[in-house]
Amino acid sequence: MNRRVIQIIAYVTMMIDHLAASLALTWWNVWADPAVYNFYTFLRGVGRMAFPLFIFGLVNGVRHTRSLPKYILRIGIFAAISELPFDFALFGKVWTTDYQNVMLTLLIGLLVLIIIRWGTHRKGLGLLYGIPSAIAITLGGMTLAEFLNTDYGAGGILAIAVMGAVLLNPLTERVTLYPWTGFIRAGAMAATVLVLGLMCGEGEFIAMLMVIPAFLYTETPVVKPRRSLFLSNYMIYPAHLALYALTIVLPYVLTTGRPVL
């Protein structure tokens, strides 16, 4: 199971999750009909699979990217351009600071991983080296995520840090090509989902199923054509939110003549 398959699973489950959220915000009265509520709950459960896979991809991105500054810039750009469609598709508001999209969570988590990794690979940097500094940096990222009200908040940052602690430490990085390292990846995924379940709600535990693709993942590179930034996989996130905003939320507002919230 290569990187492309992991991406497909992550994006499909994410789109299912957001579709259910947009419909529940508008056309579905999920509380009036038990059947509709159960179907809605099922779809949101499927959506729980996405974030741990995005974390997995983020951590592997840190390992394999040719340019960390460009990696940071890409995620930052898409965090910014995703906010308006995110707000309208999932909250029915053109703009709100109450809740920020998951790309911002990933951006904060990425910075946490990079700072920790930069320090722990340089033993002469004093306080930047070792477990205490990694904990402090992670707590700083968690605090920032809570302050900015990002999706998954502090739990999301801690989950990213846990995945990074397992897969980005020097010992693990030296043995990634051995067959038995599937157990290391599976353990990292299990620990990540455990953190999300404990901090973000028990519904997150269903994502423990993602231990299977993590175990089966292979480092085999995927050849891809050169393409511009806005034709990259990152564009799927704001594009599907904009699609839901224009085809589900906006027609609801125009048809009913009232705001969603």
Give the domain ranges of the chain.
Answer: 3-256
Percent of the chain with pLDDT over 70: 86
Q: What are phi and psi of 17, to 5 degrees?
A: -60, -50
Q: What is the mean pLDDT of residues 228-232?
A: 58
Are 100 and 151 in contact by the 8 Å Cβ rule? The answer is: yes
Q: pTM here?
A: 0.91
Percent of the chain whose predicted confidence (pLDDT) is above 90: 70
Contact 43, 16 (CB under 8 A): yes
pLDDT band at 173 (very low <50, low <70, confident <90, very high): low
Radius of gyration (Cα) for the chain, nearest Å?
19
- pLDDT for residue 71: 94
- Predicted confidence at residue 41, as pLDDT, reads 97
- For residue 89, the SS3 value is helix
Structure-token pair, residue 94:
């053109």
pLDDT at position 161 is: 97
> d(Cα 15, Cα 5) in Å, to the nearest integer?
15
What is the secondary structure of 16-39 as a DSSP string? HHHHHHHHHHTT--TTT-HHHHHH
pLDDT recorded at residue 126:
45
pLDDT above 60 for 123: no
119/192: higher pLDDT: 192
Quote the tokens at residue 197. 């379940």
Amino acid at 8: I
Q: Which of 43-47, 58-62, 121-125, 193-197 has the lowest mean pLDDT?
A: 121-125
Res 133: pLDDT: 85
* Residue showing tokens 């992550």: 10
Give the CA dihedral 183, 189, 193, 199, nearest 10 degrees: 110
The position carrying tokens 């990187």 is 3
Q: What is the mean pLDDT of residues 103-112?
A: 98
What per-residue confidence (pLDDT) applies to 176? 56
Band (pLDDT 50/70/90 cuts) for residue 199 is very high
The closest alpha carbon to 109, from 161, 152, 167, 57, belongs to 161
Other C-beta atoms closer than 10 Å to the C-beta of 190 total 18
Q: Cβ distance 89 to 245 under 8 Å? A: yes
Q: How confident is the model at residue 198 (pLDDT cuts 50, 70, 90)?
A: very high
